[in-house]
């Protein structure tokens, strides 16, 4: 983790063991985590959320392109800090691990944002995509997603439902039904944002 160099990832400076507990020394990021931000300001507009989703997805592309890929395994609103310049920073790599084949790992992460394979201790890069889908749902609604369900905006929420297909593709219960990679998801996000920009100009 200390080898990672990305402007939107909190730098891991050091680690040490004391009284049989492991500690990491992380870069301090000045800002609000997204859970607190939404708690104070309410659900966020779709365009804000799409901007943030693109930033987060760019981070995942970087992590998953490492050799071997690094899976965060705890991508939640609590671990994303919004800096004063509007950029998001991913923090808390306590759960992250390098993905090696089908090795069984420990069950980590917060339940509402964890896919089934992660509960079984078999995280894959698409597990982070599931967590990103849950995070998008939280930002749009102000509510944590229901564990082990496809996240969808409902008509009773009285919110736009235009991102439901994106949410479904992220939070599909089967890995094979999600985006194949973070690169594919990033392409889809950029296409949605471009279409919305063209529509806004036309209007």
Residue among 14, 47, 74, 157 flagged as catalytic: 74
pLDDT value of position 36: 94
Distance of alpha carbon 195 from alpha carbon 203, whole angstroms: 12
Residue 119: the pLDDT is 86
Q: What is the per-residue pLDDT for 106?
A: 53
Residue 140, pLDDT score: 97
Predicted confidence at residue 102, as pLDDT, reads 47
Alpha helices, DSSP H, located in 42-181: 46-64, 116-119, 125-141, 164-171
Extract the residue ranges of the chain whose pLDDT is less than 50.
100-104
Are 141 and 43 within 8 A, CB to CB? yes
Note the pLDDT of residue 105: 52
| Model pLDDT, residue 98 | 55
* Predicted TM-score of the model (pTM): 0.89
Helix, strand, coil share (%) of the chain residues, nearest 5: 45, 15, 40
Preceding omega of 68 cis (within 30 degrees of 0)? yes
85 in catalytic set: no
Token digits of residue 113: 């944002």
């Amino acid at each position: 983790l200390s080898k990672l160099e990305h402007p939107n990832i909190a730098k891991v400076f050091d680690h040490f063991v004391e009284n049989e507990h492991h500690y990491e020394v992380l870069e301090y990021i000045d800002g609000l985590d997204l859970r607190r931000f939404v708690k104070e300001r309410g659900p966020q507009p779709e365009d804000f959320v799409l901007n943030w989703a693109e930033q987060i997805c760019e981070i995942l592309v970087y992590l998953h392109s490492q050799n071997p890929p690094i899976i965060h395994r705890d991508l939640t609103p609590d671990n994303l800090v919004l800096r004063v310049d509007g950029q998001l920073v991913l923090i808390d790599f306590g759960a992250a691990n390098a993905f090696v084949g089908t090795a069984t790992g420990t069950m980590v992460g917060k339940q509402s944002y964890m896919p089934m394979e992660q509960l079984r201790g078999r995280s894959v890069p698409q597990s982070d995509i599931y967590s990103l889908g849950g995070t998008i749902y939280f930002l749009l609604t102000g509510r944590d997603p229901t564990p082990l369900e496809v996240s969808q905006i409902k008509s009773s929420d009285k919110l736009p439902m235009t991102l439901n297909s994106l949410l479904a593709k992220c939070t599909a219960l089967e890995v094979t039904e999600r985006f194949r990679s973070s690169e594919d998801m990033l392409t889809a996000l950029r296409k949605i944002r471009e279409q919305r920009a063209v529509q806004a100009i036309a209007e």
